[in-house]
Structures are given as C-alpha cells and as structure tokens.
Structure 1
Amino acid sequence: MMIEIVENKLWVQRMKLTFFGLEIGTRMTVIRLAGDSLFIHSPISLDIKLKQELDRIGRVDFVVSPNKMHHFFIADYMQGYPAALVFASPGLPEKRKDVAFKYLLKDNPENQWAHYLGQKIFYCGEDFREVVFFHRETRTLIVADLIMNFRENTAFLTKLVLKVVGSYNKPISPVDTGLTANQKAMAAASLEYILGWDFDRIILAHGDIIETGGKKVLSELFFWLN
C-alpha cells in the first residue's frame, strides 16, 4: 500500500530491488498536480494492486524516468496508461531502443508541470546525469540515485557491506569525487541551482527519506564541489 507523505499531495511506494547481490530497495514517488492529475517519478513494477491504488487517488498523466538506471518498468506504464505522457531521461532512448519514447526530459520543466515542480539535470559528464525535481508546495526535493541514505531498516548483508566501506548510517552519493575539472564545474553549477530551491525534505529511491534538513544534507554531501 502506498504511503501518504503529505495528505492528498504526495505518496511513495517501495519495492524490493537487488543490486549486485545486495538488497537496496527502490522507491517510486507520486505527486498530485492540478485536480486529479498525477505525476509519477521513478516507476516501479505496476501490479494490479498498485494500479488500483493509483486509479483511486487520481489520473496518471505523466511518468518520468529520472536517469538511465530507473527505467525497468517504464513499458508497463505505457501499456497500463496509454494516454499518459512518458518522459525519458537524457541517454535513455539510446539505451532502451526497444521502447518508443516520444518525450525527453530537459534542463527545465515542461509547461504541464512547471507551476508545481522545479526541474534540473544534475550533470557531471556522460556517466552520471539525473533529472532532479522540486515540489514547491511540500518543499520536497525528489531524487533517484543522487543521494542514498541507508539506515536501520537496511537488509543485514547490505548493512554489513556498507559498514565495511564506511557508507552506512549516513547520506552517500555515487557521484565520483575524481571528476575532471570540467565535470566538476558542471556538477557545481547543477548543485548551486538546486540549492537555490526552498526544500526541506528529500525523497530518494534507495534508503530512508530525509524528512527535514535536506538542504544542509545536500550541501554537506557535496562540499567537495566548492
């Protein structure tokens, strides 16, 4: 069952996900725009129960894949919601040539959701590009892999490995500190833009949601870009 983060405005749904043998889980975010219109970020497997829940709370109009990793179930939503507009992240159409994408996420929001959501590509080279969103009304930053936050709810083996590498019980990011000067400059510009948004909460795909103090967390995590 979906968890309502902000009443009638913001929901999340988790599912199990194994990555290189480790259970890391993943999370989909659902945002209400105008009226019954729903915006789905990082879609998970669309089973009958989830579809019923989505149909109960509104109408799925937009589905977005925020980066090249969060795409596995995108075709399910194309089939389940043929009237919805499905947006690919930069580079995904080349990776998923089996999917006929008509729309591509850009560095600024589409007119259909610009009033509700800020949008920015966190870019530091071809290896990492993620489209980050900001829900103004709930002061929520929505990311996929830019930030991960594995805490007590983490599976035992995953927790053990994270402890060994020093990545447990704190926010982490896959963005490599060994960027070239040009890549670092691009990442710093992306970060500066995102930090200009008035967010407090961070919803992420992997690990625990950061309920408050999100801007400080993001700034401190990427201190090395300054």
Structure 2
Amino acid sequence: MSQTVFRPITPEILIASKPFTRFGFLPWGGRSTFIFLPSNELFIVVSTPLDERTRTSLHEFAGTEWESKVAYLLAPDDEHTLYTKEWKKAFPSAQVIASKTTNLPDIDIHNLSTIKIQLFGQLVTHELAVLHVPSKTLIEADLLFNLPAKEQYSKGKAGWFGSLIAKGIHVDGWAHKFIVSGGAGKGPAAIQTGKDASVVASWDFTRIIPCHGEVIEKDGKTAWNKAYGALQAASNEKKTA
C-alpha cells in the first residue's frame, strides 16, 4: 500500500508527500510538487518516485492525457536526482532542469513567465529555489526545513528519538540556524549565498513548499528571512563596504 499522500495546494499545484528517513532514524519526509502551467504543460519538482498511485493522482489532477503534458523535470539540488532519472526515463521528451554540477543535462529556461529559478551555486548541494509567480509559492529542497514532517508521515510511522530531534529543525528551532550557517560556509561562499538568498527574498511569495516538513501556508517571506536574514545582511554590508 502506498504511503504517499496527495493534496492540491491550489488549482494549479499538487503535492505528493511521503515518508523518508534521513541517517537511518530522522523522519525527514519527501515531497514532489506538480505545477500546471498556463501553456497546459506540467512542471514537476521531483523528489518522489513515479509509481501507480502517482499516475492515478496526476490523471485526476491534470486529466486523462497528463502524460503528454510532462514538459519540465526539476532536480531541486544535487542530492535529489535519483527520482529525476526515473521520471526522465519515463518521459524522455521532458526537459531536465538541474544545477550544472549534476550528471543530468543542464538547460536554459525559456518562455516560463510563471516560473522563476535561483541557483545557490556556492552551497555544496547546489540548491535551486523555484517561485510559482501566480500563486506566490516558493518551492525548495534543502534551503529551509519545517519539521516535524506530519503530513509526510501521515501514512507512515516515525521513531520517537528521530521525532524528538526533528522538532527542533524549523526556522524557530534550535537546530535550523546551525544547518543554514554550516551549509553556507564562510568568507566569499557565505557572502554569495547571502546574495542568492536576497534574490529569493525580493520575490513576492507568501507560501513555502519544502521537500522536507510541513507546507508553510502563510508568512513564508517571514520564515525565509528568519532563516537567511543574517546571511543577507552580511552580503549587503559587503556590498556597501
């Protein structure tokens, strides 16, 4: 029985949430996001497998001919490529969007007026932040976490020890700032990450759909600035120095 939960966020956005355990004990959760573009194409931020439950849900969401509409497959960072390859094999005509350091083809993005993408090239995982402009929704993988992953484990079971630790991995939690600052590094790399974060902060969004943890339905910009405010401020000071 599939443990994946599907939920429409807006008429144009569907999410697929499932259990995923990190380090063998931490209930991290996994999530793909499916976006129906005005061009009648599907833009997919891939982080879950293409199974029969997914096919059925996309049939319900995007219509009987949904397979012919799969146009873009985005790997949100270097660590989220396994399922992207699976989807690409099933839909060979779809264009893959990934950072230049993956072994997936890197492409230019044309005619996607409803989508913005920002690369965090100085991070080890080379994150891609995605904005769906009409719904003011930011989609990201390992830039911001909002654990515990309640929706992603609604059909699964999480261990008590990992769940206890997960309670601190959100923008107001004790562990999140160490994850962000540690990932950003120091010196020029951290300054560039702050600049990249400032680009995202300049976007108009209220909702954040993370790959790991609960969807932030409102005040997403506030959550982003809590996570990256210090790095953004440091990069701005560097520019004015």
2:25 maps to 1:15? no
Inter-partner Cα distance in structure 2 for 1:25 and 1:224: 27
Counterpart code for 1:63: L
2:60 maps to 1:52? no
Alignment partner of 1:129 out of 111, 119, 126: 126
Kept after mapping to 2: 8 A contact 1:54/1:60: no
Give the secondary-structure state (helix, strand or coil) at the position aligned to 2:82. coil
TM superposition shift of 1:24 = 1.2
Kept after mapping to 1: 8 A contact 2:205/2:220: yes
TM superposition shift of 1:3 = 0.7
Higher strand fraction (1 or 2): 1
Inter-partner Cα distance in structure 2 for 1:167 and 1:83: 38
2:204 maps to 1:198? yes
**1:211–1:26 CA distance, 2 compared to 1 (3 A):** same
Inter-partner Cα distance in structure 2 for 1:176 and 1:52: 40
TM superposition shift of 1:55 = 4.1
Q: CA RMSD in A?
A: 2.2
Inter-partner Cα distance in structure 1 for 2:171 and 2:164: 11
Alignment partner of 1:141 out of 122, 138, 143: 138
Partner of 2:189: 183
Inter-partner Cα distance in structure 1 for 2:50 and 2:16: 11
Cα offsets for 1:126-163 (capped at 9, x unmatched): x1420111111000011011001113726333221235
Gaps of 5+ in 1: 94-100
Give the secondary-structure state (helix, strand or coil) at the position aligned to 1:77. helix
**TM-score of the aligned structures, taking structure 2 as reference length:** 0.79
Partner of 1:98: none
Kept after mapping to 1: 8 A contact 2:145/2:170: no
Counterpart code for 1:176: S
2:209 maps to 1:212? no
Counterpart code for 1:12: I
TM superposition shift of 1:25 = 1.1
Structure number with greater CO (CA < 8 Å, separation at least 6) is: 2
Higher helix fraction (1 or 2): 2
The number of residues matched between the two structures is 210
| Aligned residues with identical type, % of pairs | 25
2:98 maps to 1:88? yes
**1:175–1:128 CA distance, 2 compared to 1 (3 A):** farther
Inter-partner Cα distance in structure 1 for 2:84 and 2:22: 19
Kept after mapping to 2: 8 A contact 1:150/1:169: no
TM superposition shift of 1:66 = 1.3
2:116 maps to 1:118? yes
Counterpart code for 1:88: A
**1:168–1:211 CA distance, 2 compared to 1 (3 A):** closer
Inter-partner Cα distance in structure 1 for 2:163 and 2:171: 9
The 5-angstrom pairing of residues 27-42 of structure 1 reads 27-42=31-46
